[in-house]
Structure 1
Amino acid sequence: MKRLDMVMDVGDIPKKTKWLMLSLQHLFAMFGSTVLVPFLTGLSPSVALISSGSGTIAYLFITKGKIPAYLGSSFAFITPLIMAIGMTDAGVAGAMIGSFMAGLVYGTLALLIGAFGLDWLMRILPPIVVGPVIVVIGLGLAPTAIDMAMNVDGVYSGQHFSVAIVTLIVTIIGSLFFRGFFGLIPILIGIVIGYIYALIIGIVDTTAISESWNQIISASSAGEFFSAIFVMPEFVIPFVHYSPFAVFNWSIVAVMVPVALVTIAEHIGDQMVLSKVVGRNFIKEPGLHRSLLGDGVATLIASCLGGPPNTTYGENIGVLAITRIFSVFVIGGAAVLAILFGFIGIISDVIMSIPTPVMGGVSILLFGIIASSGLRMLIDNQVDLGNNRNLIVASVILVLGIGGALVKFTVFGVEFEIAGMALAAIIGVVLNLVLPDKEAGYGNGNMFETDQTTE
């Protein structure tokens, strides 16, 4: 049984001639967001790449190679990381302790789901809640995409916006009209053409590339050549660079750990989107407990290297939706490349030189696909938005989530906040539970029905 529009199934191994290009496409899709988090928080972008690739490989093993998901730096942890790094003299090391504890939250929830099943979770997450939350996940990222596409340090730039538009147009044309192998890599083609256009109009900074290249070609011995190619990232490893017991701080834990609830909600939404895109119920097989455990282990690995916490990436789900290539081997290839690129200086320099508007142009399409998947869930399940109860639940979720509402509270002198998608999801769940006629929220379909198959 295979979907009519599937190009490559989850367990399919691509031909060697195509494997590299397909994996590069996923690498480029996740790259902008993955390195943006360390830039904003003061962590190492190279370490972020390595921890991202390592976490993804661990995730694929834990989920038995059945979920084609890529994991990258989590935006939800940006503010907590900045706060944690500045809380004590331990700096990054102290923040990594908080990140490690947040990863343990995933493991705890995975154990609970494994022990008590999923029915209790599904009862509080009907399509009328899940669909709008997925829309929020996609549209909540819209300001980021637009800012990347047209602004330079918060100021509008028509020149930069033109780069984003060129990238977007090429990607759309490639998705609709390219055939054969080129039809499988529209995202990568869009990035390449956008990069070339940016070079032509002179907004690409190639200084770092030139310096690395000069060091390579001027190497007079094998040792110098090796040193010019490979660069050791700035790892922050427990028991090597610091003692976890010496830097442990409950205030940092209190700031970091609650954020795991935000990324867990995001994770569940991503798994539901993936289930719809791929045509399989990943919530049941290999199971949400396995995918959550994989996400948690990826964050634990990142915390032991000095990288930001990881989460499943909507950008790469967008690539899956466009290309219809669901192979975990392609995802694994992207993970290996991410690790390799974290050690190879000149390749990292080339990727780092990709202008922000190029990534912004691609993100406009990818983030929109996530939001559209939420609408599709409502349609597929025939949820009646003419019903006032359903209309109220969906409307409140959308406005709270996209509007950026937040709630702040203080516990033991530490201030916490629940904002955006997490707050919208919580309010949506509560409204669904307290309002009458709960059955209307399930619609006339099955939220996890993915029977779009043929003999």
Structure 2
Amino acid sequence: MNKPILDINEVPSKTQLITLSLQHMFAMFGSTILVPKLVGLSPAIALLTSGIATIIFLIITQFKVPAYLGSSFAFIAPILIAAGGLNENGMSVNPGNAMIGAMAVGVTYGLVSLIIWKAGYKWLMRLLPPIVVAPVIMVIGLALSGTAVDMAMNVNGEYNFLHFTAALVTLFTAIFFTVYFKNILSAMPILLGLIVGYIYSASVGIVDFTAVKSATMFEMPEFLFPGIHYEFKITSTILLAMVPIVLVTISEHIGHQLVLGRVVNRNYVKDPGLHRSIFADGLGTFVSAFFGGPPKTTYGENIGVLAITRVYSVYVILGAAVFAILFSFLGKVMAIIQTIPTAVLGGISILLFGIIASSGLRMLVENKIDFSKNRNLVISSVILVIGIGGAALKFSESFAIEGMALAAIIGVLLNVILPGREEAADDEDEVNMKKNIA
């Protein structure tokens, strides 16, 4: 293992703190603002709450875990379902419903962390083996593929060649930086793709700068508080759209913690413990939703930056969180983000959603899942078709389980009831979870 330049609790110089913190902020910037753009929420609030959630995470994990929390892609489809889709202006129809669902997700994280605190985490890994988690991750990516292509090619439902060229420029820029760079630039292909795609779009005249001209330098983000901006009313539809996805995101969280521990040479399963990190993730998501932001998750992009730079200082992560909060109040910057053409978002989404689906496939390969066994074939097949096909179990007009939520639940049930389930040894559980990063 390479010796760190700055270890966990080492304090960087002022110059190092500023430059390295900005580097971490820009690594997560593209992904964090992309999620709210896709689901019709405020990018400024998403950026603000990512900083707040990260600070919460650092405090609860006793400043031992240098992880950054950004917007979770796993909840894109559930948010759209809970919120009733987008209106003609590309904004969420009922964003309050999605926020209620996200708060419920945060509470669920808290309950799981409590159980892990008392009973350990091995039970969770036996409940969610790769044969269940991997196909659900594939569903998360593939179920959104039609949306990505439509955003890239069409304007108001009709094919537009110029917009599609903008999508392709964005897509190939992101691919270029992903494949051909091994330094810090490879950790932020989304941001670089968005920048190049935006510049191209402006050059061909498909960017409307009206909002930028009218924006002030400093603006208050558009908060979305329960009881003020929407009625706080919990329904089964909201809960069933959002909460089941926790089955996947908690597995992702554990995988991130294991891999991050390897990068910085720590055992985060034991200290500060998965119960603390999962609780911190959940509280960050709850607070984010309370302000009007999307659910949060630890970011692989920032783990990549840690591995590349060998700067593990939690003060740098704290600095990135502070910069994210400050940037959310820059009206001109947020206005520019709002003017990003749908085609550019579609181009980057083609790559992102494809990578999500491919990471599920990679998990199956790395865990050497044997598809000559009918049990594995049945579980993965049912999850894929139900999830991608958009199957729904409707009990009434207001009570239904559908799409990837239904697929995840059925996958867990099949894994429990079908014969031939293999009980992994404790050390194998940890090895497998290191591979479970989406």
- TM over 0.5, yes or no? yes
Q: Which residue number in structure 2 is paired with residue 438 of structure 1?
A: 421
Task: For residue 171 of structure 1, report the CA deviation from its aligned partner.
Answer: 1.9
Q: Which residue number in structure 1 is paired with residue 219 of structure 2?
A: 231
Cα distance 1:448–1:98, how it changes in 2: closer, same or farther (>3 A)?
closer
Cα distance 1:195–1:38, how it changes in 2: closer, same or farther (>3 A)?
closer
Q: Which residue number in structure 2 is paired with residue 37 of structure 1?
A: 39
SS in 1 for 2:428: coil
Query: C-alpha deviations, 1:216-236, integer Å up to 9, x for none?
Result: xxxxxxxxxxxx422223435
Q: Which residue number in structure 1 is paired with residue 296 of structure 2?
A: 311
Q: Which residue number in structure 2 is paired with residue 155 of structure 1?
A: 158
Cα distance 1:183–1:318, how it changes in 2: closer, same or farther (>3 A)?
closer
Matches within 5 A, 1:170-189: 170-178=173-181, 180-189=183-192
Aligned residue among 249, 270, 274 for 1:267: 249
Normalised to the residue count of structure 1, the TM-score between the two structures is 0.75
Matched, 1:407 2:393: yes
Hey, what's the Cα distance between the residues in 2 that align with 1:364 and 1:94? 27
Q: Which residue number in structure 2 is paired with residue 61 of structure 1?
A: 59
Is the radius of gyration larger for structure 1 or structure 2? 1
Q: Which residue number in structure 2 is paired with residue 429 of structure 1?
A: 412
| CA contact 1:319–1:366 (8 Å) conserved in 2 | no
| CA contact 2:26–2:188 (8 Å) conserved in 1 | no
Aligned residue among 416, 419, 422 for 2:399: 416
Matches within 5 A, 1:15-414: 16-17=18-19, 19-39=21-41, 44-64=42-62, 65-66=64-65, 68-72=67-71, 74-75=75-76, 76-81=78-83, 100=103, 102-178=105-181, 180-212=183-215, 228-237=216-225, 249=233, 252-271=234-253, 274=256, 278=260, 280=262, 286-305=272-291, 307-312=292-297, 316-317=299-300, 325=308, 332=318, 334-410=320-396
Hey, what's the Cα distance between the residues in 2 that align with 1:103 and 1:153? 36
Task: For residue 97 of structure 1, report the CA deviation from its aligned partner.
Answer: 6.3
Q: Which residue number in structure 2 is paired with residue 86 of structure 1?
A: none
Q: Cα RMSD between the aligned structures?
A: 3.9
Task: For residue 198 of structure 1, report the CA deviation from its aligned partner.
Answer: 0.7
Structure 1, 398-407 or 191-200: larger mean CA deviation:
398-407
Hey, what's the Cα distance between the residues in 2 that align with 1:402 and 1:122? 24
| CA contact 2:288–2:294 (8 Å) conserved in 1 | yes
Which amino acid in the other structure matches residue 107 of structure 1? G
Which amino acid in the other structure matches residue 68 of structure 1? A
Cα distance 1:322–1:373, how it changes in 2: closer, same or farther (>3 A)?
farther
Task: For residue 2 of structure 1, report the CA deviation from its aligned partner.
Answer: 5.8
Number of residues of Structure 1 aligned to a counterpart in Structure 2: 411
Cα distance 1:143–1:331, how it changes in 2: closer, same or farther (>3 A)?
farther
Cα distance 1:418–1:161, how it changes in 2: closer, same or farther (>3 A)?
same
Hey, what's the Cα distance between the residues in 2 that align with 1:369 and 1:132? 13
Which amino acid in the other structure matches residue 173 of structure 1? F
Query: C-alpha deviations, 1:224-279, integer Å up to 9, x for none?
Result: xxxx422223435579x59x9xx664xx3544444452231231242255368657
Normalised to the residue count of structure 2, the TM-score between the two structures is 0.78
Cα distance 1:235–1:171, how it changes in 2: closer, same or farther (>3 A)?
closer
SS in 2 for 1:436: coil
Q: Which residue number in structure 2 is paired with residue 219 of structure 1?
A: none
Which amino acid in the other structure matches residue 67 of structure 2? P
Structure 1, 127-136 or 263-272: larger mean CA deviation:
263-272
The gaps in structure 2 that reach 5 residues or longer are 86-93
Hey, what's the Cα distance between the residues in 1 that align with 2:139 and 2:123? 23
Task: For residue 7 of structure 1, report the CA deviation from its aligned partner.
Answer: 12
Hey, what's the Cα distance between the residues in 2 that align with 1:231 and 1:295? 28
Hey, what's the Cα distance between the residues in 1 that align with 2:113 and 2:182? 42
SS in 2 for 1:418: strand
Query: C-alpha deviations, 1:162-192, integer Å up to 9, x for none?
Result: 1111112122222222365545543333222
Query: C-alpha deviations, 1:64-110, integer Å up to 9, x for none?
Result: 55363533274323443459xxxxxxx98898667545533332222
| CA contact 2:43–2:337 (8 Å) conserved in 1 | no
| CA contact 1:70–1:331 (8 Å) conserved in 2 | no
Q: Which residue number in structure 2 is paired with residue 224 of structure 1?
A: none
Which amino acid in the other structure matches residue 178 of structure 2? S
Cα distance 1:308–1:204, how it changes in 2: closer, same or farther (>3 A)?
same
Hey, what's the Cα distance between the residues in 2 that align with 1:319 and 1:289? 21
Hey, what's the Cα distance between the residues in 2 that align with 1:33 and 1:392? 32
Cα distance 1:95–1:368, how it changes in 2: closer, same or farther (>3 A)?
closer
Task: For residue 200 of structure 1, report the CA deviation from its aligned partner.
Answer: 1.0
SS in 2 for 1:398: helix
Cα distance 1:178–1:429, how it changes in 2: closer, same or farther (>3 A)?
closer
Hey, what's the Cα distance between the residues in 1 that align with 2:256 and 2:410? 24
Cα distance 1:112–1:259, how it changes in 2: closer, same or farther (>3 A)?
farther
Identity %: 43
Cα distance 1:323–1:101, how it changes in 2: closer, same or farther (>3 A)?
closer
Query: C-alpha deviations, 1:333-363, integer Å up to 9, x for none?
Result: 5543432232221111122222222232223
Cα distance 1:335–1:368, how it changes in 2: closer, same or farther (>3 A)?
farther
| CA contact 2:226–2:232 (8 Å) conserved in 1 | no
Which amino acid in the other structure matches residue 187 of structure 1? I
Task: For residue 197 of structure 1, report the CA deviation from its aligned partner.
Answer: 0.8
Cα distance 1:388–1:258, how it changes in 2: closer, same or farther (>3 A)?
closer
| CA contact 1:29–1:319 (8 Å) conserved in 2 | no
